[in-house]
Amino acid sequence: MTTHAFTAARWIKSSRSAENGSCVEVSAVPGLAGVRDSKNADGPVLTFPAPAWRHFLDSLRTA
């Protein structure tokens, strides 16, 4: 799937983002999670299968 799936997606800035502009945003569409650089909203989107993204988040919570 391409990043076109995220064209109309709602993006959320990370609560851990720095105030110096070093920010990431995340979004979800059916079956996928996306991550992008907030300074380059039209740039590339890293995509992950939803189960892999959930596993990643769960591993952060238990670390």
Give mean pLDDT in consecutive 10-residue pieces for the chain, a chain of 63 residues: 78 80 89 92 92 95 85
Looking at the structure of the chain, the number of domains it has is 1
- State the pTM of this model: 0.81
In a domain, residue 6? The reply is: no
Number of H helices, E strands in the chain: 1, 4
Give the range of the structural domain holding residue 34, as residue numbers without chain letter: 11-62
Q: Are the C-beta atoms of 5 and 29 separated by less than 8 Å?
A: yes
In a domain, residue 37? The reply is: yes
Residue located via tokens 């939803």? 50
3-state secondary structure of 41: coil
Burial class (CB in 10 A: 0-12, 13-18, 19+), 10: exposed
In a domain, residue 28? The reply is: yes
In a domain, residue 30? The reply is: yes
In a domain, residue 1? The reply is: no
Amino acid at 30: P
Distance of alpha carbon 21 from alpha carbon 37, whole angstroms: 10
